[in-house]
Structure 1
């Protein structure tokens, strides 16, 4: 039964509000602790490795469990599983706020990461189901603006709260928001499920185990060495499990992730771009926040405020980019976003020195913020438009998993480049390390912009990706949808 337009509008508005608020919490907590780490170390003690795991403990389950969460939503109901994610994230935030040791804080952060892995992919599926196709670009633009604001604003929020209250309130902030969302999730979101009633248990075990091995090796590479036996073993085992997952999905009658998705140039290019974009965003923010505090002497709040041009730009740019995506497609908007971010990092690399003035750094912050807004807005619509509607949850899970892997890889690789060329012994040594690390980010972002050239233009009406096998008897035909947004 088709929902009347008058009834669909408030449902779409509520869905966008609820999912954006929930994913704001999840995206914010990716980087909210970065400016608070020096204070946490003083309060709880712990080594530099412990501090890294306060960040990585969140990223690891987040990246590894996204596909499982999307599959659970398709099987048991997206609204029901989404509500469970809100409950888990809220409870884990309270546990993190109550932590009295680094071990407890790392464990709580891991539980937060599991909750975030539920919220991210299902939010896009719920929006896609509630918003008419012709307005999804705008809706995803708003969603992207909120999440871009959260990612870029994490250092500001964390620094301000740490400076005026305490680092515990970074996590207490999530609790009232989570409690307020729960009744709205129950009463304002419409339940939906995927087409398959079976949960691909073997597929989820293989892909989750494979992602765990890969991401764990990425986050440990800087600490233990990229050629250490433990790191190489993790890469090897993770790669074997992912190869087994691909083989199983090709043979399965009801694959969790149809491999035909990757024959779509849009799906493949957008996921590659997401990985590289987060590589540059997370790696550069990780180093630049330290530069502002350790080298230029700003306190956590002052450092966060000075990143405000980066923080504010996605909020202004992403909704406009979303509207343009509905009209002209997203290909060139995303390419432009990658170029803007690369230009911003290049600016920082060119002007960086211990005594550089804040005004000289502002253009770099603005360019990165504009580029981030241009990236976040179109990618959701492009991913959703490249797959059948009943598979949007899994597609969203893949996209978010690639982003999280990119973020973990960016922090690890740029930190390794920094450590190889510089260090913390003096301001000049820090500059010697951060400049080549930023140039690595520039090269990666330009490669992502070039990769988007494989996406068909707006006028090319791309056919849906071919299925891995003929549909089973009794399987309903996929609904006719508008041409994929490119």
Structure 2
């Protein structure tokens, strides 16, 4: 069961990262240009982030196993479409469909574990799930580079077909079905959340190219200002309208897409914020460091890729050892230790870059420390976020956390990229970006210091909204007999 959920999450992460090194082949074969190649990556990200909240609720209502299997089949079918794409339009459509499939899969992998396991076994389940994600985040780029070099860029997309089918089949055979019998998917709320999150992520992703106010070099022709402010305004208005609608649904006794009471659950609030900061640092760090390695130090891509092995192996190690730490000190202290390792590593890298030194061993050691912290924190954040959630809130909480991670990663690339390239000297910009990453991780550590998750799996239940016609529901857990 844990292996199936972890494999589904790994498929989503790899599909998000595997395309980056295939971009030059896309440009040469399809003639789409650098901007079009960038959209091949971003179409997945924007659709994925925009559908996460509603997809999490779909899993709650119609079955988490069913959502995971359906999403995996969508990923497989879209991968086949992308591999056979005759031109840019079909390829972009396929990537958008992959993003939709990923939105069904990822929150379902998290919520099916949260709905099935309790006690110490739950910590082990999330440890293995988080370790898989942390490890595959670094593997995707390497896999994409190898497939592109040996078989061509179409093989990058074709590889997801058998994996997606296998995950769907394994989900059908190995996972118990769990769903909530009450409530429904709010279509208006789903539309508002998709539009708001999609517009916000698109603004962050395209801000450097389109310009934050004045039109940038890649902005649409004829616009007096950049489209980014319009996107930001759309995101803010949709978020406000979404909040109003969710409050009204809760007051009427209906089940909203994202209950307002979730934000009053300290473990959910702090855990989601920490997850966003971890993604901010992870994706921002991996975005700016290659510029230091290749443009400042003059390393080749092959030399730089060797350093990525250190955080990948360390992240896997950290994730696999979290179950032992959780049994001794609990998930709260495990996440704190991970954030402390990440912050110390980012600060050390900032000092290393600022000093102009480039010792390979020290850089590898710091990246390994960062990967270790990433594995420790990522593996248990899901457990903390879902610790006090029950029933209808499990899938919504999973989707909210994953949405926060996607927004955090977009912020990381946009903000740290802007800090890096605004400096007159590139090395100074990289050092400042690393210092900002360390600061953000320290803030996340402070936020998680008073997490409400208790040791031993004993958690307080979140308060449910009261209203006319509201009836509290108990969620029957499936008798799976599952073991780790």
TM-score (norm 2): 0.87
1:467 equivalenced with 2:456 (yes/no): no
Distance in 2, Cα, partners of 1:289 & 1:43: 26
Aligned with 2:442 (options 442, 446, 450): 446
The alpha-carbon deviation at position 205 of structure 1 amounts to: 1.5
1:162 equivalenced with 2:134 (yes/no): no
Partner of 2:382: 380
The alpha-carbon deviation at position 192 of structure 1 amounts to: 2.0
Asked whether the 8 Å contact 2:387–2:453 carries over to 1, the reply is no
The alpha-carbon deviation at position 330 of structure 1 amounts to: 1.8
1:153 equivalenced with 2:150 (yes/no): no
Asked whether the 8 Å contact 2:68–2:106 carries over to 1, the reply is no
Distance 1:78 1:352, change over 3 A: same
Distance in 1, Cα, partners of 2:165 & 2:303: 31
Distance 1:30 1:156, change over 3 A: same
Distance 1:167 1:207, change over 3 A: same
Spell out the pairing of 1:171-210 with structure 2 (5 A cutoff).
171-210=157-196
Spell out the pairing of 1:160-309 with structure 2 (5 A cutoff).
160-228=146-214, 229=225, 230-252=227-249, 253-254=253-254, 255-293=256-294, 300-309=301-310
The alpha-carbon deviation at position 142 of structure 1 amounts to: 0.1
The alpha-carbon deviation at position 153 of structure 1 amounts to: 2.1
Partner of 2:402: 400
Asked whether the 8 Å contact 1:137–1:323 carries over to 2, the reply is no
Asked whether the 8 Å contact 2:391–2:474 carries over to 1, the reply is no
Distance in 2, Cα, partners of 1:40 & 1:189: 37
The alpha-carbon deviation at position 188 of structure 1 amounts to: 2.4
The alpha-carbon deviation at position 40 of structure 1 amounts to: 3.9
SS in 2 for 1:330: helix
The alpha-carbon deviation at position 154 of structure 1 amounts to: 2.2
After TM superposition, the runs of 4+ consecutive aligned structure 1 residues lying more than 6 A away are none
Spell out the pairing of 1:45-56 with structure 2 (5 A cutoff).
45-56=31-42
Partner of 1:358: 360
Asked whether the 8 Å contact 2:284–2:417 carries over to 1, the reply is yes
Distance 1:321 1:389, change over 3 A: farther
Partner of 2:481: none
SS in 1 for 2:358: coil
Distance 1:140 1:117, change over 3 A: same
The alpha-carbon deviation at position 47 of structure 1 amounts to: 4.1
Distance 1:287 1:446, change over 3 A: same
Gaps of 5+ in 2: 215-224, 478-484
The alpha-carbon deviation at position 127 of structure 1 amounts to: 1.9
The alpha-carbon deviation at position 321 of structure 1 amounts to: 1.3
Distance 1:387 1:206, change over 3 A: same
Deviations 1:167-213 (A, max 9, x none): 33222222221122232222222222124242212221221221112
SS in 2 for 1:352: helix
Distance in 2, Cα, partners of 1:241 & 1:294: 40
Distance in 2, Cα, partners of 1:157 & 1:376: 22
Asked whether the 8 Å contact 1:75–1:198 carries over to 2, the reply is yes
Distance in 1, Cα, partners of 2:45 & 2:304: 23
Distance 1:464 1:287, change over 3 A: same
Distance in 2, Cα, partners of 1:469 & 1:405: 31
Distance in 2, Cα, partners of 1:418 & 1:250: 41
Distance in 1, Cα, partners of 2:206 & 2:384: 33
Asked whether the 8 Å contact 2:10–2:133 carries over to 1, the reply is yes
Partner of 2:321: 320
1:343 equivalenced with 2:339 (yes/no): no
Distance in 1, Cα, partners of 2:85 & 2:245: 41
Comparing 248-257 with 391-400, greater Cα deviation is found at 248-257
The alpha-carbon deviation at position 473 of structure 1 amounts to: 5.2
Distance 1:240 1:101, change over 3 A: same
Distance 1:471 1:139, change over 3 A: farther
Asked whether the 8 Å contact 1:213–1:238 carries over to 2, the reply is yes
1:21 equivalenced with 2:18 (yes/no): no
Asked whether the 8 Å contact 2:384–2:453 carries over to 1, the reply is no
Distance in 1, Cα, partners of 2:341 & 2:74: 37
Comparing 464-473 with 104-113, greater Cα deviation is found at 464-473
Partner of 1:425: none
Aligned with 2:83 (options 97, 115, 124): 97
Deviations 1:307-338 (A, max 9, x none): 10111112111121133224432222222222
Q: What number of residue pairs does the alignment pair up?
A: 460
Asked whether the 8 Å contact 1:421–1:432 carries over to 2, the reply is yes
Comparing 156-165 with 244-253, greater Cα deviation is found at 156-165
1:409 equivalenced with 2:395 (yes/no): no
